[in-house]
Structure 1
């Protein structure tokens, strides 16, 4: 049984192709609508699996070509993050056989395909034997994870499990000139899932700000990423909360969604007492400098629209640690204060745990105050 999968996001396409091939289907893929149409005519598939939102030619245009220009009755299954009711109705009006809304599990996708065209005779795997549900995400998200001497703290199993289960996320680990075995640990982690995990290696240590900037610029080159974010290697903010940040930006007009460690009822937010006092003091200074009502700019979990990432990470940051503050300052200077406030969402985390082994000492905290004033003076000169 032959399936043609048409999808512009490589991470999704590779995952779909792998699962269907394992189950005995013969699969061909196309990354855009026109290529899909050309392949349809030559390949003559038993089923077409197509996305809606693709550049140049939409999935609905592909459906229209197959149904009306080719007058083909080949079953068509749409799998898309577009949940607009009118789009779904238009699909059925054009003659599709089914419509799946992302996020959706690979298991559900396979079950719907089996319902339409059956199971291959050379089926190698039983759907019910799959040990866990792998989810195809609504959008593709690139996540930068800066690492400096994280050999002892890197939670490889958590990263490996997340990349395996959440298809559409790509984890880019930036090794910031580590002097221990961090790079070797990352290389072993990458081998477990090379399609969804990559390494960007910096020969020399440049600080967290530059490591994240280099990672973001690396991911920006890949056009499949709708959103780009960053996360601390110690997972003090865990993947459940990060995924919530992504869901917020997907379903809103915000351009940046930033995690916030502000304590609230029902949230598990823990800090060392001394760090809490210092953090509160620094946050008050930051709020004064920004002149915007954000309570926790320094949380190491943020996700943003790719176009915003291009603008915010184009130029080097002036500090090694306070690039989060600089991002807010750049948004304010680029869009104006009122518009920046509308474009940034500060979302409280459900859980955040301070991890042992922080690279910042008490002495560093004193330096931070001086760097904040440096930011306040320097960004007055900026023009975009």
Structure 2
């Protein structure tokens, strides 16, 4: 029986890594393997991950000597995992702002017709979504702009760090390097549209509102990255429009 592979990129996580959550919840994830990618950390993250691997049988660790950034760390893992073992591949943030149980819940929405599952941070009654106010407002502006002018499909939250993809689709989507360091989630959806068309998105890509999400307040995104987002979006727009016209 094929499993689900979840990739967790890690960069200098020694002081914030929720190791007890992984150890305490191991029994819930018999059908999920976790692949931790040490993305050129300068602290003891790699040692911590290798120690964790000795305690849990469903963990692998990839060590990258140089820091490549989240997008490229995930891409490296997608392309180098044993694809025959996994029906779906996904990724999750190392700080577990999306909890392990929420990731497990996302797997329950897998059907033969569902090829891409996206967690979505929708603040509504019945859910507990704790976000920094500035990041929430900025995120809504960004998401609305991206949906209307870049993707041109109705997506609420491109940037939630919890996603699952059918393995053949994941291989296609991660085959080429990304234009942007932080907005590669937007590029993933653009690649789905380019490869499969908008009808495929409507039929096979779903957004699932998370029941819980907690902003850990220690984002790796710096203020300069926020400043550069309009330039990244322009670069993405020009790059993918140019590909469509070739």
2:143: which partner in 1? 283
2:236: which partner in 1? 375
Q: Deviations over 1:271-299 (max 9, x none)?
A: 11111121122112211211000010110
User: In the alignment, is the contact (CA less than 8 A) between 2:143 and 2:155 conserved in 1?
Assistant: no
Give the alignment's Cα RMSD to 1 decimal. 1.5
1:256: which partner in 2? 116
Partner Cα distance (1:160, 1:216) in 2: 24
1:206: which partner in 2? 68
1:172: which partner in 2? 35
Partner Cα distance (1:163, 1:318) in 2: 36
Could you list the runs of 4 or more consecutive aligned residues of structure 1 that deviate by over 4 angstroms after TM superposition?
none
Q: Number of residues paired by the alignment?
A: 244
Q: Deviations over 1:6-55 (max 9, x none)?
A: xxx4xxxxxxxxxxxxxxxxxxxxxxxxxxxxxxxxxxxxxxxxxxxxxx
| 1:233 aligns with one of 75, 78, 94 | 94
| SS of the residue 1:226 aligns to | strand
Bigger mean CA offset, 163-172 vs 147-156: 163-172
Q: Deviations over 1:221-244 (max 9, x none)?
A: 241211111000000001121112
Structure index of larger Rg? 1
| 2:131 aligns with one of 271, 274, 277 | 271
Partner Cα distance (1:298, 1:157) in 2: 26
Structure 1: gaps (5+ residues): 1-8, 10-138
Q: Deviations over 1:287-312 (max 9, x none)?
A: 12110000101100001111111111
User: In the alignment, is the contact (CA less than 8 A) between 2:158 and 2:186 conserved in 1?
Assistant: yes
Partner Cα distance (1:206, 1:260) in 2: 26
Partner Cα distance (2:191, 2:25) in 1: 32
TM-score, normalization by structure 1: 0.61
TM-score, normalization by structure 2: 0.95
Q: Deviations over 1:201-258 (max 9, x none)?
A: 1110011000111111122x24121111100000000112111211101x35110000
Alignment of 1:1-384 (within 5 A): 9=1, 139-193=2-56, 195-219=57-81, 221-249=82-110, 251-287=111-147, 288-382=149-243
Work out which structure has the larger RCO, using CA pairs closer than 8 Å and 6 or more positions apart in sequence: 2
Partner Cα distance (2:217, 2:232) in 1: 24
